[in-house]
A and B are shown apart, each in its own frame.
Chain A
Amino acid sequence: SYVLTQPPSVSVAPGKTARITCGGSNIGVKSVHWYQQRPGQAPVLVIYDDSDRPSGIPERFSGSNSGNTATLTISRVEAGDEADFYCQVWDSTSDHRIFGGGTKLIV
């Protein structure tokens, strides 16, 4: 089955830019979605279809997808951004929704 690979953690200083990657075989042809999960809370959709933001999500959050890697970029990182981030795709071959293992953003 299709596998998504994320780094376990990413560290960034406040005010800097964080980049969280999601690797998968030819992931560039798939639509990638990103969720943020703060400690003790339910996940929240922050990016869908590679680079679109749901209403209410700050413009500091952006996404890209090409080749074998999708990337979530968070600009001007704030302490409140500290959370686990998960990428997700729909694998049409298996008709399953697949999550990456998650990345802990440490601010």
Chain B
Amino acid sequence: EVQLLESGGGLVQPGGSLRLSCAASGFTFNSYAMSWVRQAPGKGLEWVSLISASDFRTDYADSVKGRFTISRDNSKNTLYLQMNSLRAEDTAVYYCAKGDCGGDCRFVDSWGQGTLVTVSS
């Protein structure tokens, strides 16, 4: 059974930084691309970033490009999201999600339970 467990969320001031982690189990982590998807309170889903399985190619939504960095440690089966220069509009539940392939995945087939990031002074 695929399990994705996010951690690292919390309250941070505008302009601050936060690092999210996602511990994965139940599948061969180094064979699948991984994504972060967020959901602002009462709003819809927004894809944030993707990292491929082995060549670590990355892609970002325009709203976070230059501020967020996705990475992974295949030896630890862990996905990360480094978030810098945080803004109020980054407030959301951040979900870790497993892609359906190793590279340019068309969709995600498993989701974690999410971790809440609140950006406020």
Taking Cβ atoms with an 8 Å cutoff, the residues of A that contact B are: 1, 31, 33, 35, 37, 41-45, 48-49, 54, 84, 86, 88, 90, 95-102
Contact = CB atoms under 8 A, between A and B. Distances in A.
B47 A98 contact: yes
A97 B112 contact: no
A99 B46 contact: yes
Contact of B44 (A33, A44, A48, A86): A86
11 contacts: A1-B62, A35-B45, A44-B111, A45-B107, A45-B108, A48-B109, A49-B106, A54-B109, A86-B45, A88-B107, A90-B107
Contact-residue bracket for chain B: 20 to 34
Contact of A48 (B61, B100, B110): B100
Contacts of A41: 113
B95 interface: yes
Interface string B95-121: 100001000111111111110000000
A63 to B, nearest CB: 12
B44 A102 contact: yes
Nearest to A33: B107
A14 B100 CA distance: 33
A102 B45 contact: yes
Contacts of A43: 37, 45, 95, 111
B107 A99 contact: no
Contact of A100 (B44, B100, B108, B111): B44
List the 4 closest pairs (A to B, CB-CB), nearest first. A33-B107, A97-B47, A42-B111, A102-B44
B50 interface: yes
A37 B97 CA distance: 14
A3 B116 CA distance: 26
Contacts of B110: 45
